[in-house]
Copies of this chain bind each other. A is one copy, B any other.
Amino acid sequence: MSYFKYHVFFCTNQRGPGETSCNDCGAANMQAYAKDRVKALKLNGQGKVRINKAGCLDRCDDGPVLVVYPEGTWYRYVDEEDINEIVESHLANGKVVERLKI
């Protein structure tokens, strides 16, 4: 059994001026928001959910992105509403959010 049921990695990479990157879209803030939401729903902890920051996930053209392991489900999100849906549908209830999947 996986140490975390859902281990989520947000690309929070910040590239230099003139280059777009996930963090230009507020990725670090979105990661913090997701972490707070998961905690508020008491989904965090061993055997449950972990929300992590990560370096560049090498899918810049699709960004801002996150990935949910162990399934390897990739999402592109835009705003807190998208994060809410990923948390409530996928992380709380195991239902992939098809409209955000990439």
**Chain A interfacial positions (CB closer than 8 Å to B):** 2-4, 7, 9, 46, 50, 52-59, 67, 69-72, 74
Contacts and interface: CB of A to CB of B under 8 A. Distances in A.
Contact of A74 (B3, B58, B59): B3
A46 B55 CA distance: 16
Contact of A58 (B50, B70, B72): B50
Interface of A: prevailing SS:
loop
A9 B69 CA distance: 11
Contact of A57 (B52, B70, B71, B72): B52
Nearest to A31: B55
B9 A72 contact: no
Nearest to A51: B55
